[in-house]
Structure 1
């Protein structure tokens, strides 16, 4: 039994997301509903909420996209406003009036935006938030201890959205997707005049997950993820990053993963020594084409063009959707018949 009433969940990209121990989804009534084990996000003192619970929305705005971090979440409305709720310890809600914990939608400050500029997509990391706008700019706020905001004059934290001053995008490039994770952020950019889908990342390069040669190094500005020689001509259209690995869907539908090996990359690399793969090198096993990919702390899942779900990596708590050991080989998740 849920609290949805007559509403139903929306089957659209960006309408559902999970972070930490919480899931949130947008329903047909334009509100966001959350469930799981994080009271800061659920507006409830209970440790666990076992059914979708509406987040207070005093604005009445219809929400169209949601992103969930470790202890906070944000959403974008159909009019281009951004709202956040949850933990505000590091300024990750982007709101001047917010206290440490907020149980209802708080408007993200917009004084840094140009007239007519609105938010398009929001991405929540562990303790920071980034958002793209209608003018192909990226604003970030919250914790900057690992340069995950890519704003050099913010030493620690800020609750004011700050624009990333980067030459790799702007009014002549299109930001097609944004993602944030623990201590890092990534964006897919469609550059013009020649259409090239490229990933740029910034923040802490744990295990080489940001596509840079020096694992653990901090990238203070957005840098292009450069594929290895095996994937020299590959372009990407979707990206997902987490604690120590990243996966992306290429234009041909194949998924590439890089970062910490440990069964997380969807294939094995017998000819490459060491524990990290710092660049997109080879696609995951199976030869399938995918529409999207989502990366967890130690596992990943992809949705194929045949609307099938495959997962790989660590299988603690059955996170791969099947019984069995940890595996680098994508395993199909079989849904019960209805």
Structure 2
């Protein structure tokens, strides 16, 4: 075999929690990545350093668990053939043991647990006893935190594993209905509301006033709950993870490591730390047609331009788009009919050139809707370049546009840092963008280009055999 080196570009600008919502769909927020089950498939996005978002072939998946830490991450799902796991396997956390009839799976930092028939089975890392399941009486739920796990059975809530902060020592609860194990704390929903215990830093166990809460999710160092007022989060406030955007009738919420996600009538909405694209939700998990109209609606026969307040000048604000989370042509075309409602809200056009408005949105989900509708590509932008002569890691910032035919086109490279061989990288970027396809922007039968797009990439190498 010949061994070669190739570089893979990942878009960079742009402890587990799980929840199911209506229609059998379910989401899980892991360490800098997110996964969801929707319409018979598992979709994952965000950090992929350990292959945790490389979903294998699955048939009729019903549940997914995302977890991990800085030193590794793995994912597990329940499908027709049972539990399937992928990603980091240093501790055997993806080596699924024989199971009888698994219905639920969750993952922690280095271990995994499944609800299997009338029992809970755990595997992988066990330094703190987090995989030593105690005797349970007809368990109905299991939740895995950083180094501990909890289940609900006929006796109430039972926890095991690391207990330095008391996170595995639940208080007396009245008819607990849900439990969620976080980093070093645990939360539960019972008859009198939400209760949290364990580490008290950042106000983790100081549950705010909630009105008729229906669910709770414990993340690494923050938690979120759903009540009559919507989504309420508390704990460490860094990176905006405890500040949800405007949501339209939210139905579920999950707290991850440095980000959070919820579901509402528009689909999945995420917020918080975004360095790995973990909050940039794929189009397949959204329904822009159900989102609130951002400004005056326009008909399909209404051209958004000319907008005399807009000129194609070098100082035109750039708009960051997702070059990582591409979708199938079929999925993308399903949202194209929603475009006419957002022409005037998202675009400004002169002649045959348009820009996506930048910095003019009151809420982040409005910006996300414009991104989903007008600059999500049909083919994943994973660009490979021959790594001969290239050493180290690189960061690349570039401007590009979408042509009238729906192709990506490099406009200019603003910066390449991290090593030598910049010309090789520049040529590969130009070729890679030309192979990235978008649904052309067509208004009144006329094609338009979108010209103000910008992205920053991380570039690293990996070996492969051919």
Higher relative contact order (CA 8 A, sep 6+): 2
Contact preservation (8 Å) 1:264, 1:300: no
| 1:142 counterpart = 2:161 | yes
Aligned to 1:66, what secondary structure does the other structure show?
Answer: strand
| 1:168 counterpart = 2:188 | no
Q: Deviations over 1:275-331 (max 9, x none)?
A: xxxxxxxxx33142222212121111111134x111111111122117589xx9654
Contact preservation (8 Å) 1:310, 1:330: no
- TM-superposed CA distance for 1:209, in Å, is 2.2
Match of 2:199 in 1: 204
Match of 1:183 in 2: 184
1:50-65 correspondence runs (5 A) = 55-58=95-98, 60-65=99-104
Match of 1:261 in 2: 237
Match of 1:131 in 2: 151
Unaligned runs of 5+ in 2: 1-53, 282-319, 322-357, 380-466
| 1:239 counterpart = 2:227 | no
Q: Deviations over 1:264-283 (max 9, x none)?
A: 2454xxxxxxxxxxxxxxxx
| 1:288 counterpart = 2:248 | yes
Equivalent of 2:66, from 8, 18, 36?
18
Contact preservation (8 Å) 1:245, 1:257: yes
Unaligned runs of 5+ in 1: 44-54, 95-107, 151-163, 212-224, 268-283
Q: Deviations over 1:91-144 (max 9, x none)?
A: 1111xxxxxxxxxxxxx342xx4xxx31111111111111111x2511111111
Match of 2:120 in 1: 82
Match of 2:131 in 1: 93
In 1, Cα distance between equivalents of 2:172 and 2:121: 28
1:102-141 correspondence runs (5 A) = 108-110=133-135, 113=136, 117-133=137-153, 135=154, 137-141=156-160
Contact preservation (8 Å) 2:93, 2:112: no
Match of 2:452 in 1: none
Alpha carbons of 1:119 and 1:265: their partners in 2 closer, same or farther (altered >3 Å)? same
Equivalent of 2:276, from 287, 292, 317?
317
Contact preservation (8 Å) 2:97, 2:123: no
Query: Rg: which structure is higher?
Result: 2
In 2, Cα distance between equivalents of 1:317 and 1:128: 26
Match of 1:8 in 2: 59
In 1, Cα distance between equivalents of 2:61 and 2:127: 31
In 2, Cα distance between equivalents of 1:2 and 1:257: 30
Alpha carbons of 1:2 and 1:122: their partners in 2 closer, same or farther (altered >3 Å)? closer
| 1:249 counterpart = 2:269 | no
Q: Which has the higher helix share?
A: 2
In 2, Cα distance between equivalents of 1:8 and 1:40: 26
1:209-220 correspondence runs (5 A) = 209-211=204-206
Alpha carbons of 1:240 and 1:40: their partners in 2 closer, same or farther (altered >3 Å)? same
Equivalent of 2:110, from 71, 75, 81?
71
In 1, Cα distance between equivalents of 2:199 and 2:212: 23
Q: How many residues align?
A: 239
In 1, Cα distance between equivalents of 2:245 and 2:134: 44
Aligned to 1:25, what secondary structure does the other structure show?
Answer: strand
In 2, Cα distance between equivalents of 1:299 and 1:200: 21
Q: Structure 2-normalised TM-score?
A: 0.47
